[in-house]
Structure 1
Amino acid sequence: MSTSVPTTDTSTPGQRARALLKVMQDKGMVPDGYIEQLTDLMENQWDPANGARVVARAWVDDDYRRLLLEDGTAACAEYGYTGPQGEYIVALEDTPTVKNVIVCSLCSCTNWPVLGLPPEWYKSFEFRARLVREGRTVLRELGTELPPSVQVCVWDTSAESRYLVLPQRPAGSEHLDEEALRRLVTKDVLIGVALPVVR
């Protein structure tokens, strides 16, 4: 009687993903060009520069600002920033007494078309768990010190809400045009863990 000894799988996640893709392609389950289109979407079209464009316009155009705050999805759609993870966009307005910051406590969902793919730290369990419990401390550790008079509001992204932080226009930016204002808005600013600064 022979017994077989189970072998240990030593393949990498990348190798397993490629093998799965090949099986799906062989069965005709992946349309031609699908992977290339998705790669272009993630690498080139989903970009925090999109969010910077939205914020800068809201800083200089009161009508657009109102639309963004009333219907973030429609405001972002004016620029074509739609699609997967771009549904149900809600703009969170910072004020002199409120600082908004977003997180996805269950995974790493965010507003991809406007913020780009989430950074590694955003996906970490430590960030997700701690931000909800001790938002002010986490912001301080990330370099954003807020006065005690400012309340930190943490918003948990879900399938029904994809957030974008609309920060206050920074002091000293009055002379900047819309293009220059865009350069003040980074992915961290859009997530809410940083403030736009005029250098």
Structure 2
Amino acid sequence: MSDRMARDRHRKRQLAEAVVGLIADGECLFLDNSSTNLALAEILPASSNLTVISNSAAIVAALADRNDIRLIAIGGVVDPNLGACTGPEALVQVQHIHFDRLLLGACAVSCSHGVCVFDPTDMAFKQQLLASANYVVVLATSDKLETTAPFRVASLKAIDTVVVESDAEGAICSNLAAAGLDIVRAAGTSSQPPISAKTG
């Protein structure tokens, strides 16, 4: 996770900043294992009465000293390749939790293949997260858009909002909006207009 966080740190921070305004006071959030979600954890606003749940060792560590956040760690064996718990113990725990907003980690996002990842256990865990979430947001750097990975988590119908970089290709964003997603652009120098297919 530390290696992934070090790559494109500024870009991930911009995506995270775009998400903060979507979060309402008192929400229960699930921050899925993701270096971009770690950037979000680092800037979550104070005094918002948030409950944050995560399976990521790095995210839990980043929030452990936050007295203003109710933190719930999803446990089990930490996969060293992922830096997170995604095994059977973690699956059982999330089956019994409902959260207002899921920040879903993704390795690839495309109109044809939906949201995909490289690890089958991670895929199964994310599918359970989707079943437990009221609203789903994916933060995607431009290198993940219109790409694919071996294990399909879900079609785009399972996602409500995708947060993209300011320079994300307009045609890709238009196709994602046509598939029914709200598109939120991170702050930057792009002159691309916002695209919205729905509200939520």
The normalised TM-score by structure 2 is 0.24
Q: Which has the larger radius of gyration?
A: 1
Question: 1 or 2, which has the higher strand percentage?
Answer: 2
The normalised TM-score by structure 1 is 0.24
Question: 1 or 2, which has the higher helix percentage?
Answer: 1
Q: Which has the higher contact order (CA 8 A, sep 6+)?
A: 1
